[in-house]
Every structure is written in C-alpha cells, then in structure tokens.
C-alpha cells in the first residue's frame, strides 16, 4: 500500500526543487533519480534594454538567501565589459562582504538548514546533561587543533568572548526548553513525528544530539551579529548596495556622519570577531564530532556522486581586482579554486587538474535538451552565454497536468534549469569542489600557493588525520560536502581579518577612495558592442554572469548560477548525471517512506530551491510523496 508523507520544514531550502527516486527496498539503495527545478527565474529577460549600471540591483534578487553575491558578480561583469579598474579600498570592502557572506551562510546552513538531517531534538531529550557537559570538554580537547589553523591578522582575539558552555545546568536548561517545544507541537521543526524515529538518528549518542541542538539555538542569536559588515558597507541586509566602479561607502574618520567612520569600522571589527568565534568555537567542533562518528564508527561514506568524477570552481578573493578577459583576475587570487579536477576519488596523485582562466571562457556553454526552454537553432546544440537564449518552452509532465505534476518526463523536458557544461561535460560546484581543486593544484604543484591555499591543505590533512581516512575516501561524500563548508567558513573568517587590516592600513595612509567614476557616465562609452563576464565563488558554488552591451544598453544577459550546475537535467550525449541526481544514486535509503538519507544528501548542497520528493519502489510503485514546504507531516 502506497504511503504518502508530507515533510516540513519550509526554511531548509530556498526556491522550488523536485526530485524523484526509485528505491530498491531489498538492497536499500537508490536505483534511479531525477531532479527538477520547478520555478523559472526570468531575470535575463527583465534586464534586456536596461542600463548596465543597474543590473546589480536586479540580479541580486535572483536569490533571497545569498543576497550580496549576485550584485558582486554583476558589477564585476559590467566592469569587465567596460574596462573599469576599482580602487584598493573597494576591493577590500567587497572581499570582506564576500567573506561575511561565507561565514554567515555556512553557519546558518549547518545549524538551521542541515543539522536536523543529522541530529534530532527527540533524541536530545534522552541525553544526560552531566555527560553532555563532559562530552563538550572532550570534543574541545580532541578536535581543538583545527582552531589553530585560523589566522588572526587583526590580533583582536586574545581571548574568546563566546565559547561553548560546558556545564550541566546549561544543557539541562536547553533540554527543558526543547522538551517544552516538542510537547507543545507549536514549532514545526520540533513537533513530534515518526521521522524522528529513523534509525540513522541513533548513530549518534543522545549527548551529541543535545549539544548540537543547544548550539542550534545559540546560533539563532549569534548569526544576527555576523551580517553587520553588509549593513555598514552596503547600507542594509539583505541586498546591500554596490556600485559599478567601486562601492558607495564614503570614508571619513573625522566626520561622524560619514557612512564609514571610526565608530562604524569598530562595529565591523566586532562583527568579524563574532564570525571568528561562531566558526572556530562552535561550528567546526560540532561538525568534526558528528563527521567522525559517521565515517569512523559507521563507515557512512555515501552521497559523493559526481564529485568523484568532476568538480569545477572559478576562484575568488583577489588581492587587487581587475578584469577576467585579460586574465588579470586569475593571476591575483588568494583562493585558487579556479580549476577543474577529474577523478579525485582515485587519489590526489591520480586526479587530473585543468586550470580555469581566460583561455577557458570559451569552453563554458549551456544545453536545453531536457530543459523547459528552447533554442531558435535547435535544442541539440550548446550556446555560449554571450550567445545565450532564454526562451521558455514548458511541455508539462509525463503524467499529470501542467499545474499538477505526478511524474516527470525525464526522457523529454523536465526542468526549468538549463544544463551548464565545461568542454561539453557536467560538473559539481560548491565548497567541496573548491577544496578538491585547491588540494589537487597544490599537491600536484600546479600553482604557487597563497596563505589561503596552504591553510586549506592543512585543514584537509588535519581532518584526514582525525578521521583516519585519506581525502579521496571522506571528501567525495555527503559528510565531506558538509565538512568542506565548515572548513571554508574558517578560511573566510581569516580572510575577513586579512582584508580588514588591509583596509585600515590603507585608510591610515590617507587613501579614502572607494570608487572609480571615470567611466560611470554612459556618454563616455562607445555605442559599439561590449562583452563582459563576471565570476565569483558563491557559498553554493561557481557563479558567472555574462553581458552583451550595445548602444549603451543591455542587449543580452545570462546568469549561470551554482544550483543550475548541480541540478541540471541530463544530456543526450553523456551517461553522466548532474550533481544532485548522481549524489542521490550514490546513497542508501533504509526506510522508503522516510528518505532521510536522500534529503540529507540534497541538503548538503544547500540548494537555492524548495523541495518535494517522490519515492518509488523498484517496480515503479509510488511509496511516498514528501513535500518540504508544507505545514504538516501527515500519514
């Protein structure tokens, strides 16, 4: 008998995603998987004919979660087209805002979007607060070495202001609070449900559950303080302000009414301290405690999927910002994740590395073979983004109606996402991809590593020692994908201090310039055609914007976002699946109508989508429909 299960929380994925998996219940494995973006963005059409200087304000609304990132890559795109150099202060401010996005996004993702795939508030009720306090001290001692890898360029962290409390009374108070929430049934994520009885929740001791749930609630307060740099430098959060040619943030240390003055810089410094503490004293320790048990004790190494075969990144945090088409951006990076790595699962020495630079820009393209779009010259060809077309062509599902999908038509068109490719191949993007690229590039000697690259290699080697497993075993997994986010948050916290010191030192030398306005007036532009590309590493992965400007207006604009890479539909010429589909097929499902493992793996990507999941048995019989985004959990 088919069982229909509707699962909430709505806050754990942004947007609209649908996945269908076929489960072999006897072997408890996924046999087939389909992922579909069921919402069309359409920003590309909105931008046609508009002033290029306004593009950042529109593209920033592509996402309501990662906010600032599309504005950053959009202004870079326009600056690349027009040949605009930005001042040193503007580059430092942009990098601090990007680093802040990383730390905030990764912390919120782990605790508030992903943690409940690993820990359960119901299991936390079984914990002994005394043993939990003892466990907290053991974890600090056992995994504390990871904190030593961070670098405080500001020298402001002489002692921690926020540190995990390891007292029985602290954990007893949280346990009582969670118990009241569970018994009240008023808070959806903590309301009683049979999913909390899933056997995977018993992989961890109850004390780990209580510790992580307590920190979940701690981070609800702390995360608000982490976004202050966006408010100070960009005027607000979400969607702070940017400027083609630099930033709006005028600087004066004497004028207390100036947007950036000594008092506001002090606020930014205090926020960077909160980011540092959240990552190093809470996030990384919880992450390693959970990952260690899953990998070492339970040998849970599922969910790697496409990351075993191919990953891609664009790199970020330039020391000084310049253009992409002349290659200057790639030469000035601190974070050398600009590359493609194939076959990492065979070991770092056997992996293949290809740099991403100005010569590779022509090798990025998009297909719409199985997308609800069409190309004027036929859907079997790939289009480079500068020639890209965004023409919707919704064909509906294989079964059901156009407004009520029952089954997707994976042999036809089945997603509002296009299929981005590098050299005609799909790739996984995200923090895990970035870490694989940097690790391979450094270990194989392809790059001269910066302090950021060296820090990443040390992080990976440290975690490998903790887990007792080489990188090729633990990294291309759901655990590895989740771990890479936490490690990257530590890098971002260090990068923030680095560029904050650079900004302050530059201001002390008398340089307060934040914008280059020489080419801001369109009257100085030619009416000829300009082409530009902007790249960045969004928290979710490689992001690129592509623009064609003619007659001083936007003629074409295409955005290839990280989730598009990962959720993309299949290609007719390749048996490889995109990252979501491949990762789901690389996992187990112990209970068909409670596909916790599938949702855990999907959540590890932090999709910019909302999710509904259909579960089928091996004969095609529907077992359950799981909707993430509804208000109830119903049998």
Give 193-229 pLDDT, tens digit per residue. Answer: 567 889 999 999 999 999 999 999 889 888 889 999 9
Domain residues for the domain of 223 are 10-361+425-627
CB 100 within 8 A of CB 227: yes
**392 falls within a domain:** no
Ramachandran area for residue 468 (φ above 0: left; ψ -120 to 50: alpha; else beta): left
For the chain, how big is the Rg over CA atoms in Å?
24
Look at residue 98 and tell me if it is in a domain.
yes
| Closest residue by Cα to residue 361 from 385, 393, 340 | 385
Higher confidence at residue 549 or residue 39? Answer: 549
Cα–Cα distance for residue pair 366/125, rounded to 1 Å: 49
**Does the pLDDT value for residue 154 go beyond 90?**
no
Q: What 3-state DSSP class applies to 27?
A: coil
Phi, psi angle pair for 162, to nearest 5°: -120, 120
Is 405 part of any domain?
Answer: no
Q: What is the pLDDT of residue 635?
A: 26
Whether 1 is in a domain gets the answer: no
Give the model's confidence band at 2: pLDDT under 50 very low, under 70 low, under 90 confident, else very high.
very low
Encode 88-101: b = buried (16+ Cβ within 10 Å), e = exposed: bbbbbbbbbbbbbb
Task: In whole angstroms, give the CA distance from residue 396 to residue 382.
Answer: 23
Yes or no: say if 598 and 624 are a contact pair by the CB < 8 Å rule: no
For residue 373, tell me if it sits in a domain. Answer: no
CB burial string 377-402: b at 16+ within 10 A, e below:
eebeebbebbebbbeeeeebbeeeee
Residue 27: partners with Cβ closer than 8 Å, 6 or more residues away: none
Q: Which residues contact 521 (CB under 8 A, 6 or more apart)?
A: none
400 found inside a domain: no
- For residue 631, the number of C-alpha atoms closer than 13 Å in the C-beta half-sphere is 1
418 lies in a domain? no
Looking up tokens 């969607």 gives: 239
Asked whether residue 396 carries a pLDDT value surpassing 60, the answer given is yes
Residue 366 lies in a domain: no
Q: What pLDDT sits at residue 615?
A: 44
> Among 14-18, 51-55, 336-340, 395-399, whose mean pLDDT is lowest?
14-18
Does 625 score more than 80 pLDDT?
no
Q: What is the pLDDT of residues 497-550, one digit of tens each?
A: 999 999 999 999 999 999 999 999 999 999 999 999 999 999 999 999 999 999
- pLDDT, tens digit (0-9, with 9 covering 90-100), for 98-120: 999 999 999 999 998 899 899 99
Mean pLDDT for 539-565 is: 96
| The pLDDT value given to residue 15 | 59
Tell me: pLDDT of 66 over 80: no
Those residues whose C-beta lies under 8 Å from the C-beta of residue 406, and which sit 6 or more positions away, are: 397, 398, 399, 400
Cβ proximity of 107 and 577 under 8 Å = no
Write down the residue that tokens 């959720």 correspond to: 567
Q: What is the CATH number of the domain that holds 549?
A: 1.10.645.10
Looking at the structure of the chain, the number of domains it has is: 1
Q: 271-291 pLDDT, tens per residue?
A: 999 999 999 999 999 999 999
pLDDT digits (tens, 9 = 90+) for 593-624: 788 898 899 999 998 763 344 444 455 555 55
Q: What is the pLDDT of residues 431-446, one digit of tens each?
A: 999 999 999 999 999 9
In SS3 terms, 525-566 reads as CCCCCEEEEEEEEECCEEEEEEEEEECCEEEEEEEECHHHHH
């Amino acid at each position: 008998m088919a069982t229909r299960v509707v699962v909430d929380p709505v806050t754990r994925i942004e947007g609209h995603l649908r996945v269908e998996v076929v489960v072999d219940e006897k072997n408890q494995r996924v046999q087939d998987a389909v992922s579909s973006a069921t919402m069309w963005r359409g920003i590309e059409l909105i931008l046609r004919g508009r002033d290029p200087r306004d593009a950042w304000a529109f593209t920033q609304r592509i996402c309501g979660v990662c906010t600032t990132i599309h504005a950053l890559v959009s202004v870079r795109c326009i600056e690349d087209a027009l040949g605009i150099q930005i001042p040193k202060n503007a580059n430092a401010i942009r990098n601090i805002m990007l680093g802040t996005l990383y730390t905030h996004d990764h912390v919120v993702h782990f605790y508030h979007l992903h943690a409940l795939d690993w820990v359960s508030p119901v299991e936390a009720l079984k914990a002994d607060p005394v043993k939990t306090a003892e466990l907290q001290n053991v974890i600090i001692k056992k995994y504390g070495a990871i904190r030593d890898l961070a670098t405080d360029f500001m020298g402001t962290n002489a002692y921690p202001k926020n540190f995990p409390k390891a007292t029985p009374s602290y954990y007893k108070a949280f346990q009582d609070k969670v118990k009241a929430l569970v018994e009240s049934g008023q808070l959806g994520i903590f309301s009683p449900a049979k999913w909390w009885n899933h056997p995977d929740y018993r992989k961890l001791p109850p004390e780990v559950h209580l510790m992580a749930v307590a920190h979940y609630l701690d981070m609800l307060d702390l995360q608000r303080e982490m976004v202050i740099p966006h408010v100070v430098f960009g005027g607000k959060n979400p969607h702070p302000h940017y400027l083609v040619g630099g930033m709006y943030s005028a600087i004066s240390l004497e004028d207390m009414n100036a947007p950036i003055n000594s008092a506001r810089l002090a606020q930014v410094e205090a926020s960077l301290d909160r980011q540092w503490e959240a990552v190093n004293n809470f996030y990384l320790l919880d992450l390693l405690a959970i990952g260690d048990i899953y990998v070492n004790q339970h040998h849970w190494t599922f969910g790697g999927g496409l990351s075993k075969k191919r990953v891609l990144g664009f790199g970020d945090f330039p020391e000084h910002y310049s253009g992409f088409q002349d290659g200057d951006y790639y030469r000035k990076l601190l974070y050398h994740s600009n590359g493609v790595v194939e076959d990492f699962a065979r070991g770092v020495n056997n992996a293949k590395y290809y740099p991403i630079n100005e010569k590779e820009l022509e090798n990025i393209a998009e297909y719409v073979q199985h997308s609800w779009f069409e190309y004027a010259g036929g859907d079997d060809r790939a289009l480079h983004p500068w020639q890209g077309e965004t023409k919707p062509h919704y064909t509906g599902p294989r079964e059901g109606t156009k407004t009520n999908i029952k089954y997707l038509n994976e042999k036809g068109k089945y997603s509002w996402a296009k299929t981005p490719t590098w050299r005609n191949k799909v790739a996984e993007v995200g923090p895990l991809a970035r870490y694989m690229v940097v690790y391979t590039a450094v270990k194989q000697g392809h790059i001269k590593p910066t302090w950021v690259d060296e820090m990443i290699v040390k992080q990976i080697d440290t975690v490998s020692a903790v887990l007792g497993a080489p990188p090729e075993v633990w990294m291309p997994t759901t655990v590895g994908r989740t771990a890479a986010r936490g490690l990257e948050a530590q890098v971002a916290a260090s990068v923030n201090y680095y560029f904050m010191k650079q900004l302050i030192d530059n201001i002390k030398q008398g340089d307060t310039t934040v914008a280059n306005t020489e080419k801001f007036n369109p009257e100085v532009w030619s009416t000829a055609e300009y082409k530009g590309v902007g790249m960045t590493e969004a928290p979710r992965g490689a992001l690129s914007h592509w623009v064609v400007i003619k007659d001083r207006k936007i003629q074409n604009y295409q955005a290839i976002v990280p989730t598009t890479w990962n959720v993309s539909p299949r290609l007719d010429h390749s048996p490889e699946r995109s990252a979501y589909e491949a990762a789901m097929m690389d996992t187990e499902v112990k209970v068909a109508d409670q596909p916790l493992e599938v949702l855990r793996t999907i959540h590890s990507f932090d999709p910019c989508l909302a999710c509904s999941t259909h579960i089928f048995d091996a004969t095609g019989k529907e077992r359950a429909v799981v909707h993430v985004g509804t208000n109830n959990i119903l049998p």
